[in-house]
């Protein structure tokens, strides 16, 4: 291969992590994607510091069985999506997969061309062996129970799956700590505390930065309120210590949708019921199941609105006969339920309309459950009287893939909880949860990107900008923000000059990096038509930008969850490289048009 065809991008340690060929793709031999990917990596072994012993068994599938073999690579998966193919080779040690360590090669399926490759593999890795007794020791729910300081009953824990893998211990990444948020009442509320389990101290024998054989345990462990949550833990067998713990969940204090985008100026505390009635839109609820015995419920192909969280407020049904109108004032739980169905269903339908198949949603079992008036089971939410929403993940042992489990919504306003305004009325909130966190479960196996909280804010602002009448175009959540004292407000016009760049001091991951990402992707949208005075150009730019983000995330795997913005940028280039074949022929678009714009936006 000619070196002039390679764009080398070293990371901070000067190890090459990306080879980007989108400007001049490499023609593959066409034998098979597997063999072409292996041949490509052999030719470029020097860039990724790959040794002969590491790549000689790349064609072998990952088995996850303990062997005496040192650092190596195994074929993990072939992922096809919208004209692109991703070949993923996971790094192994002792035959066990190394957590989030892999090399991925991206192809244009139709033209059989290599677009790029990305490595998250470790250059130098050493792992101490453990005894067969510890390897084979079975872990029960009661064993996990001993690792937490909760005082809970042993029967609460139900193990869904286990496997062995290699994990690099990082103390700061062991668990997620609760965040103190200042509410307008002046009191401090710990947000995210419900997703934290108190862990025993790490023994002195566990050293920072060392690699350990661990047992990954996927288990059910409910909150004190009884809400079932799914958890992932890495347990080091020798010391029976949890080195890593995460819930398949995200509890986000985000603020979305929105009479403000409609230009009405109404705040969430608006009490004029007639005025709120007048700004409603008459819509069709798509994909609903037919009425049963003359009763129409909010259950359909993708979503079923149910009451599964406190407070106990069932969703409405109607039996008034065709056209089965769901007609409620906005300051009611019933109106929140109709909105929850409408916005959640529309997101799933949008993804399918763009040409992605149902396989895009991984281990999701449809219809997903949605509680329009929930979250009362979570401590600190005042029985659900809180401004919040959440999307939980699931792990199906039978399907072998993570997926979306449930989504639940609380309130948009706390000034009048007797006549509540549900946060599900805000499309931006729904997009942050389902498009932000929901699809990440399906592709990277968790709620967040490796370098950012999610891309949820990006979906929300791009899809709500076309024709907006909001006074501040760059206020990410203009409606909910009116009643919020949380500062700084989330925005998507952050300036690198104020340290909001990818190498700036505010690029700390979490919500900060999400604001940088939404600023970045909003720049992309604006540059391809979002700043046009023509509404149709704006709408197409929004749809195409969202398509690229969806596809970029769809190209990811748990092993290739990007740890840097650069890795995600290359995923966006790879998404753009092939043709978009939408269900709407007017949206079909040739690939490769926006590579330079994507790079510029980042």
In 348-382, which positions are buried (b, 16+ CB within 10 angstroms) versus exposed (e)? bebbbebbbeeebbbbbeebbbbbbbbbbbbebbe
What is the reported pLDDT for 192? 47
Q: Identify the domain boundary among 228, 247, 266.
A: 247
* pLDDT higher than 90, residue 482: no
* Domain assignment present for 520: no
* pLDDT higher than 50, residue 5: no
| Domain identity same for 242 and 257 | no
Please say whether the beta carbons of 393 and 249 come within 8 A: yes
Across the chain, what does the average pLDDT equal? 87
Please say whether the beta carbons of 414 and 387 come within 8 A: yes
* pLDDT higher than 50, residue 254: no
Residue 27: both structure tokens together: 């023609």
d(C-alpha 261, C-alpha 534), whole Å: 18
Please say whether the beta carbons of 556 and 571 come within 8 A: yes
Is this structure's pTM higher than 0.75?
Answer: yes
| Domain identity same for 72 and 51 | yes
* Domain assignment present for 515: no
What is the reported pLDDT for 157? 81
| Domain identity same for 322 and 229 | no
Higher pLDDT, 306 or 192: 306
* Domain assignment present for 131: no
| Domain identity same for 242 and 256 | no
| Domain identity same for 240 and 270 | no
| Domain identity same for 183 and 270 | no
Give pLDDT tens digits for 502-523. 999 999 998 999 999 999 999 9
C-beta atoms surrounding 299 within 10 Å: 19
| Domain identity same for 384 and 457 | yes
Let me know the angle formed at the C-alpha of 336 by 334 and 339, rounded to the nearest 5 degrees. 115
211: β partners: 127, 168
| Domain identity same for 192 and 108 | no
| Domain identity same for 339 and 214 | no
* Domain assignment present for 104: yes
* Domain assignment present for 540: no
Lowest model confidence (mean pLDDT) among 73-87, 316-330, 432-446: 316-330
* Domain assignment present for 183: yes
| Domain identity same for 352 and 418 | yes
The domain that holds 296 is classified in CATH as 3.10.170
Pseudo-torsion of CA 125, 130, 136, 139, nearest 10°? Answer: -80
What is the reported pLDDT for 322? 47
Residue 361: band (very low, low, confident or very high) from pLDDT cuts 50, 70, 90:
very high
Domain that holds residue 162: 142-247
* Domain assignment present for 517: no
**Residue located via tokens 């997703």:** 195
Tell me how many domains the chain contains: 3
C-beta atoms surrounding 150 within 10 Å: 12
> What average pLDDT does range 372-387 have in this prediction?
88
Residue 225: both structure tokens together: 């309120």
| Domain identity same for 167 and 283 | no
Please say whether the beta carbons of 58 and 52 come within 8 A: no
Q: Tell which phi-psi region holds residue 380, choosing left (phi > 0), alpha (psi between -120 and 50) or beta.
A: left
Residue 244: both structure tokens together: 């890593």
| Domain identity same for 323 and 369 | yes
* pLDDT higher than 90, residue 28: yes
* Domain assignment present for 413: yes
């Amino acid at each position: 291969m000619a070196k002039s065809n390679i764009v080398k991008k070293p990371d901070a340690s000067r190890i090459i992590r990306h080879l980007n060929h989108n400007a001049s793709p490499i023609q593959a031999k066409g034998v098979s994607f597997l063999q072409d990917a292996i041949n490509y990596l052999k030719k470029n072994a020097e860039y990724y510091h790959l040794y002969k012993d590491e790549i000689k068994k790349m064609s072998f599938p990952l088995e996850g069985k303990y062997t005496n073999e040192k650092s190596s690579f195994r074929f993990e998966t072939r992922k096809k999506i919208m004209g692109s193919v991703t070949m993923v080779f996971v790094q192994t040690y002792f035959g066990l997969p190394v957590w989030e360590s892999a090399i991925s090669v991206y192809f244009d399926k139709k033209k059989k061309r290599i677009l790029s490759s990305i490595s998250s593999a470790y250059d130098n890795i050493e792992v101490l062996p453990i005894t067969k007794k510890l390897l084979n020791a079975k872990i029960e729910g009661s064993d996990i129970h001993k690792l937490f300081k909760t005082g809970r009953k042993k029967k609460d824990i139900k193990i869904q799956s286990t496997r062995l893998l290699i994990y690099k211990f990082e103390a700061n990444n062991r668990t997620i700590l609760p965040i103190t948020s200042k509410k307008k009442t002046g009191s401090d509320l710990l947000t995210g505390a419900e997703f934290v389990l108190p862990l025993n101290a790490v023994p002195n024998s566990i050293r920072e930065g060392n690699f350990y054989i661990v047992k990954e345990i996927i288990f059910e462990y409910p909150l004190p309120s009884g809400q079932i949550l799914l958890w992932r833990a890495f347990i080091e067998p020798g010391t029976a210590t949890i080195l890593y713990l995460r819930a398949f969940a995200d509890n986000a204090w985000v603020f979305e949708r929105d009479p403000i985008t409609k230009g009405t100026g109404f705040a969430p505390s608006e009490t004029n019921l007639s005025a709120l009635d007048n700004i409603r839109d008459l819509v069709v609820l798509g994909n609903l199941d037919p009425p049963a015995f003359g009763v129409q419920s909010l259950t359909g192909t993708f979503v079923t609105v149910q009451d599964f969280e406190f407070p106990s407020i069932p969703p409405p049904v109607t039996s008034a006969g065709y056209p089965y109108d769901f007609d409620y004032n906005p300051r009611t739980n019933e109106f929140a339920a109709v909105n929850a169905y409408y916005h959640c269903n529309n997101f799933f339908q949008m993804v399918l309309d763009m040409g992605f198949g149902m396989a895009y949603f991984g281990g999701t079992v449809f219809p997903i459950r949605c509680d329009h008036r929930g979250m009362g089971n979570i401590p600190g939410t005042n029985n659900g009287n809180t401004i919040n929403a959440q999307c939980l993940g699931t792990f199906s042992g039978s399907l072998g893939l993570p997926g979306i489990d449930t989504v639940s919504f609380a309130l948009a306003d706390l000034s009048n909880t007797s006549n509540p305004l549900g946060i599900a009325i805000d499309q931006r909130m729904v997009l942050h949860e389902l498009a932000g966190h929901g699809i990440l479960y399906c592709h990277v196996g968790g709620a967040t990107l490796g370098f950012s909280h999610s891309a949820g804010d990006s979906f929300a602002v791009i899809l709500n900008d076309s024709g907006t009448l909001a006074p501040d175009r760059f206020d990410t959540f203009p409606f909910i923000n009116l009643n919020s004292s949380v500062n700084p407000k989330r925005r998507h016009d952050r300036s690198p000059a104020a340290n909001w760049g990818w190498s700036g001091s505010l690029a700390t991951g979490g919500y900060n990096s999400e604001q940088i990402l939404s600023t970045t992707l909003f720049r992309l949208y604006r540059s391809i038509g979002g700043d046009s005075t023509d509404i149709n150009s704006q709408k197409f730019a929004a749809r195409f930008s969202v398509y690229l983000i969806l596809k970029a995330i769809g190209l990811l795997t748990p092993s290739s969850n990007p740890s840097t913005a650069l890795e995600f940028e290359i995923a966006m280039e790879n998404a753009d490289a092939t043709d978009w074949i939408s269900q709407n022929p007017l949206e079909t678009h040739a690939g490769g048009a926006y590579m330079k714009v994507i790079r510029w936006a980042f």
